[in-house]
């Protein structure tokens, strides 16, 4: 394949994909340069620093050129950075969401643990030498922390999922309530509290799905919405109190930062990138948006490709607003299977769902599962799921009754069916692909693999993405013969980085880090679709004439 623009997997952008003469490979969308984008803040050097929760890394972006440099790498002590702020001395403070830690990174690059006692720390801000953080959980707290020691001070409790906050021109800390409180009318609120403590108060109500609050250089409050429309609500708190709503089309806004010239730069948890947003809603991409994963991939009978992209269901085709096309925000979706006009998905919330793109509706089919990943539609119409953390393969019938098809597996990841209706499952930890038997334990079809994940069957051949060796393996279902059809695949973490063993849940029952899942699907014409989650693309492998 020819060279492509730089990606998060290969900064030079020239990493080739080697395929056998049986296949021709193409990328259906450009590589992504960020693994999603969450908290953003300008550093002392004038660059915009971007926390990437899904990657466990922080990058610095030059807003003039769009150049991206990894500053806090995946193998640093920081595991899941979701927000960041800079202190008066140039230190970077990081909210490390999943393990519940707050870090200080000195200007020299040294890491110091500030606190390990904050549950789901997210919103973080500095006021001179003072450090404040809030918790993204029901009943969360807003605290002042002391980097040089000292017991944390709780300013207030009862937050309905705190997030990005900032000191306002009146000297108060402003923060959003992301979710509703016990009273369903108490939704869409922005609160404030004096940094020395006091009674918190609501300063804005009925704000559209608030996720972050930011003040521009003129002191106008901007409230970002986490919804699909990319809404920003501007509120003149100290003048007329008037509101202006601007729709940007940036799906899943997460955070924003204003530079000295009052230019607004926004991030997106759903589609990544860095975008300059003008006051009238027009946008200019600084770092192009794209896929956060992708994870599971599927293709319908019309040839339309869909990907489960952790926060959404997306297609690799370009969107008029920039990046790829988002069909629906589907939090923590990993597995996906097309079925007529429907899409079936799995979620780290432990759910199996059926999404109807035409009607825009979602139906829950099963819940309480332990990290369900790959999903496939059985010949009888039931949904078959690899329940990874339970070591099971389960089926959900049309009445939503769950049946265990196989258990005792180590770490099942994906499932697929052959033309005879036989079910296969990849077991990443066991390093094998097994056939699920109607009676008795699963039978090992092929072993000795290094972290097999995505599965697909076409004719008499089974294909699997062997992520440990970054190759596509074909296995004959009749003879057991193996063949390598593609190598040097951009799947998993970049070379030299050892992925952490990620927890399935936050301490407070919320989904944790994504397990990188390289999905695989077969189209009606025999082409293979592969989730190149190392670079943020969907690869199409088209069979040749050989």
Residues β-bridged to residue 255: 267
Do 465 and 453 meet the contact criterion of CB atoms below 8 Å apart? yes
Residue 179 pLDDT greater than 80, yes or no:
no
291-543: CATH number: 2.120.10.30
Structure tokens at 163: 């997030």
497-518 pLDDT tens trace: 665 655 555 555 556 556 789 9
pLDDT, residue 278, reads 94
Do 135 and 121 meet the contact criterion of CB atoms below 8 Å apart? yes
Cis previous bond, 524, omega within 30: no
Q: Give 132-161 as a DSSP string.
A: EEEE-SEEEEEEEE-TTS---EEEEEEEES
246-259 pLDDT tens trace: 999 999 999 999 99
Do 103 and 91 meet the contact criterion of CB atoms below 8 Å apart? no
**DSSP element (H, E) containing 452:** strand 452-458
Q: Where are the beta strands (DSSP E) in 87-242?
A: 92-96, 101-105, 111-115, 121-127, 130-135, 138-145, 153-160, 166-167, 173-177, 189-193, 201-204, 210-215, 221-225, 231-235
Q: What is the mean pLDDT of the chain?
A: 91
CA distance 540 to 530: 7
Residue 388 in 3-state DSSP? helix
Give the lowest-confidence range in 9-13, 36-40, 121-125, 353-357: 9-13
Residue 21 pLDDT greater than 90, yes or no:
no
Structure tokens at 15: 């990493």
CA distance 500 to 516: 11
**DSSP element (H, E) containing 286:** strand 283-287
Mean pLDDT of 58-63: 97
The one-character DSSP state at 389 is G
Do 80 and 99 meet the contact criterion of CB atoms below 8 Å apart? yes
- How many C-beta atoms lie closer than 10 Å to residue 179's C-beta? 15
Residues β-bridged to residue 403: 395
**Residue spans of alpha helices (H) in 43-104:** none
40-287: CATH number: 2.120.10.30
Residues forming CATH 2.120.10.30 domain(s) in the chain? 40-287, 291-543
């Amino acid at each position: 394949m020819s060279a492509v623009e730089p990606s998060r997997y290969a900064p030079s952008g020239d990493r080739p994909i080697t395929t056998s003469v049986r296949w021709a490979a193409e990328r259906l969308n450009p590589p992504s340069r960020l693994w999603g984008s969450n908290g953003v803040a300008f550093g002392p050097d004038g660059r915009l620093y971007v926390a990437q929760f899904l990657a466990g890394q922080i990058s610095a972006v030059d807003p003039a050129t769009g150049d991206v440099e990894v500053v806090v790498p995946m193998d640093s002590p920081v595991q899941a950075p979701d927000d960041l702020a800079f202190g008066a001395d140039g230190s970077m403070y990081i909210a490390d969401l999943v393990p519940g830690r707050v870090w200080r990174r000195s200007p020299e690059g040294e890491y110091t643990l500030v606190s390990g006692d904050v549950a789901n720390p997210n919103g973080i801000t500095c006021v001179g030498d003072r450090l404040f953080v809030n918790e993204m959980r029901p009943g969360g707290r807003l605290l002042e922390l002391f980097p040089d020691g000292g017991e944390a001070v709780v300013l207030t409790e009862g937050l309905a999922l705190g997030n990005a906050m900032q000191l306002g021109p009146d000297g108060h800390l402003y923060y959003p309530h992301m979710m509703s409180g016990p009273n369903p009318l108490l939704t869409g609120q922005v609160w404030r509290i004096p940094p020395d403590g006091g009674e918190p108060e609501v300063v804005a109500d009925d704000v559209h799905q608030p996720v972050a609050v930011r003040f521009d250089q003129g002191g106008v409050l901007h409230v970002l919405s986490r919804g699909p429309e990319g809404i920003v609500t501007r509120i003149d708190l100290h003048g007329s109190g008037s509101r202006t709503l601007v729709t940007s089309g940036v799906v899943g806004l997460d955070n924003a930062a204003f530079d000295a010239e009052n230019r607004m730069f926004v991030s997106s948890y759903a589609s990544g990138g860095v975008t300059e947003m003008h006051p009238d809603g027009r946008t200019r991409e600084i770092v192009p948006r794209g896929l956060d994963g992708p994870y599971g991939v599927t293709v319908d009978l019309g040839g339309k490709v869909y990907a489960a992209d952790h926060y959404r269901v997306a297609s690799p085709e370009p969107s008029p607003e920039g990046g790829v096309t988002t069909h629906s925000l589907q939090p923590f979706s990993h597995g996906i299977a097309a079925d007529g006009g429907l899409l079936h998905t799995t979620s780290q919330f432990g759910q199996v769902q059926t999404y109807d793109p035409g009607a825009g509706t979602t139906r829950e089919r099963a819940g309480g599962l332990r990290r369900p990943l790959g999903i496939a539609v059985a010949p009888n119409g039931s949904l078959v799921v690899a329940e990874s953390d339970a070591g099971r393969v389960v089926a959900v019938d049309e009445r939503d009754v769950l049946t265990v098809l196989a258990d005792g597996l180590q770490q099942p990841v994906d499932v697929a069916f052959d033309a005879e209706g036989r079910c296969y499952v990849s077991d990443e930890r066991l390093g094998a692909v097994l056939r699920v038997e109607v009676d008795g334990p699963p039978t090992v079809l092929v072993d000795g693999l290094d972290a097999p994940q995505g599965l697909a069957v076409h004719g008499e051949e089974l294909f699997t993405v062997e992520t440990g060796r970054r190759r596509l393996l074909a296995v004959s279902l009749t003879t057991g013969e193996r063949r390598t059809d593609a190598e040097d695949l951009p799947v998993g973490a970049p070379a030299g980085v050892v992925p952490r063993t990620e927890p399935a849940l936050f301490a407070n029952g919320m989904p944790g880090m994504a397990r990188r899942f390289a999905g695989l699907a077969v189209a009606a014409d025999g082409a293979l679709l592969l989730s190149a989650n190392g670079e943020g693309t969907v690869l199409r492998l088209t069979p040749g004439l050989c």
